[in-house]
């Protein structure tokens, strides 16, 4: 039996940066007897609704997990469907994102991607680089461990070239991550009821709040995102310290 905090945590502001693991496209489709590709296609619609709703909820940055370094293990047809969705999403939405002041950043390794996808990513980043109203980061061919390894390797390369010195510290390594420059991740959300990070934003997750929602990604939208904001504001973020008075637990846990 644990004692409750002596008083409710003071409401906090934000979140500024929400990261989303968009899970459940396959299950959504299978439940309807439809091909998984339809689930992914509906997933893109959910992504559009969510990006549109974010600024009104005070969110300034969204990071979404579009394709992981492990997703290459899926059948070739599904991999190809997911690549096709990037093509159509950028073709149908890039102009609007440009116009609405959204800066698009794509996190993850470029090597191994089809050449046209690489070019599309570069075009989306370049044409929105000057925007500053909202940041949309799409993790694509992304793995959290790989991103940390790449950041460390970048530092090693600089040291070997005589452009940096050791020892490596957290701030320097953080500057080499693909999320460098974005605000700190306040909350990581996973949909579909699964409760794990699956190699997403491992470094950035250190003090992020975690929210698990029982909604399949194609059903996601403004209401679910508003619920994330509400849950987040009721959390007591301490970053290892003691932000609010807290009654010691009745039982010590060793
Ligand atoms: C997880 O559902 C979702 C993905 C692997 C991909 C997410 C991609 C989209 C929502 C498409 C939009 C992306 C971009 C970049 C335009 P799952 O297939 O693992 O679902 P399941 O766990 O129910 O099988």
Q: For 138-151, write each residue's pLDDT tens digit.
A: 999 999 999 999 99
Residue pair 17/184 in contact by the 8 Å Cβ criterion = yes
Question: What CA–CA distance (Å, rounded) separates 254 from 208?
Answer: 24
Query: Which residue among the candidates 71, 131, 227, 236 is catalytic per the annotation?
Result: 71
Question: What CA–CA distance (Å, rounded) separates 94 from 45?
Answer: 14
Residue found under tokens 């974005």? 182
Indicate the pLDDT class of residue 247, thresholds 50, 70 and 90: very low
Q: What is the pLDDT of residue 239?
A: 80
Q: What is the pLDDT of residue 229?
A: 98
* DSSP for residue 142: E
Domains and CATH numbers, the chain: 17-233 (3.40.1180.10)
Residue pair 66/97 in contact by the 8 Å Cβ criterion = no
CA atoms within 13 A on the CB side of 253: 5
- As a whole number, mean pLDDT of residues 207-235 equals 97
Q: What is the pLDDT of residue 251?
A: 46
Active site residue 132: no
> How many helical (H) and strand (E) elements, i.e. helices and strands, does the chain have?
7, 6
210, 216, 217, 222 alpha-carbon torsion, rounded to 10°: -80
CA of 93 to the centre of ligand 1 (A): 18
Q: For 170-197, write each residue's pLDDT tens digit.
A: 999 999 999 999 999 999 999 999 999 9
- As a whole number, mean pLDDT of residues 69-83 equals 96
pLDDT at 123 over 60: yes
Q: What is the pLDDT of residue 240?
A: 79
Q: For 42-65, write each residue's pLDDT tens digit.
A: 999 999 999 999 999 999 999 999
pLDDT, averaged across the chain: 92
Residue pair 124/90 in contact by the 8 Å Cβ criterion = yes
Question: What CA–CA distance (Å, rounded) separates 50 from 98?
Answer: 17
The answer to whether the predicted template modeling score (pTM) of the entire model surpasses 0.75 is yes
The structure tokens listed for 199 are 């190699």
The structure tokens listed for 102 are 């959204």
Active site residue 23: yes
Residue pair 57/229 in contact by the 8 Å Cβ criterion = yes
Ligand 1 pocket test target in 66, 80, 92, 216 with most atoms within 8 Å of CB: 66
The beta-strand segments (E) located in 143-229 are 187-190, 209-212
Report the phi/psi class of residue 131: left, alpha or beta, with left for phi > 0 and alpha for psi in -120 to 50.
beta
Indicate the pLDDT class of residue 163, thresholds 50, 70 and 90: very high
């Amino acid at each position: 039996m644990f004692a409750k905090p002596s008083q409710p945590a003071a409401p906090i502001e934000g979140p500024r940066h929400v990261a989303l693991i968009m899970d459940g496209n396959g299950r959504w489709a299978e439940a309807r007897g439809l091909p998984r590709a339809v689930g992914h296609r509906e997933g893109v619609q959910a992504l559009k609704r969510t990006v549109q709703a974010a600024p009104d909820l005070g969110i300034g940055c969204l990071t979404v997990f579009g394709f992981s370094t492990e997703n290459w293990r899926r059948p070739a047809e599904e991999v190809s469907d997911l690549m096709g969705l990037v093509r159509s999403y950028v073709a149908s939405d890039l102009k609007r994102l440009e116009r609405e002041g959204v800066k698009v950043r794509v996190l993850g390794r470029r090597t191994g991607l089809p050449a046209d996808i690489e070019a599309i990513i570069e075009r989306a980043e370049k044409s929105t680089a000057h925007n500053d109203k909202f940041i949309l980061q799409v993790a694509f061919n992304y793995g959290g461990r790989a991103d940390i390894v790449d950041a460390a390797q970048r530092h090693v390369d600089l040291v070997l070239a005589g452009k940096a010195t050791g020892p490596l510290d957290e701030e320097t390594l953080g500057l080499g991550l693909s999320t460098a420059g974005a605000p700190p991740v306040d909350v990581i959300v996973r949909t579909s009821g699964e409760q794990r990070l699956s190699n997403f934003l491992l470094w950035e997750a250190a003090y992020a709040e975690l929210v698990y929602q029982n909604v399949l990604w194609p059903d996601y939208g403004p209401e679910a995102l508003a619920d994330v904001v509400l849950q987040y504001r009721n959390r007591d973020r301490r970053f290892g310290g003691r932000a609010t008075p807290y009654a010691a637990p009745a039982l010590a846990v060793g």
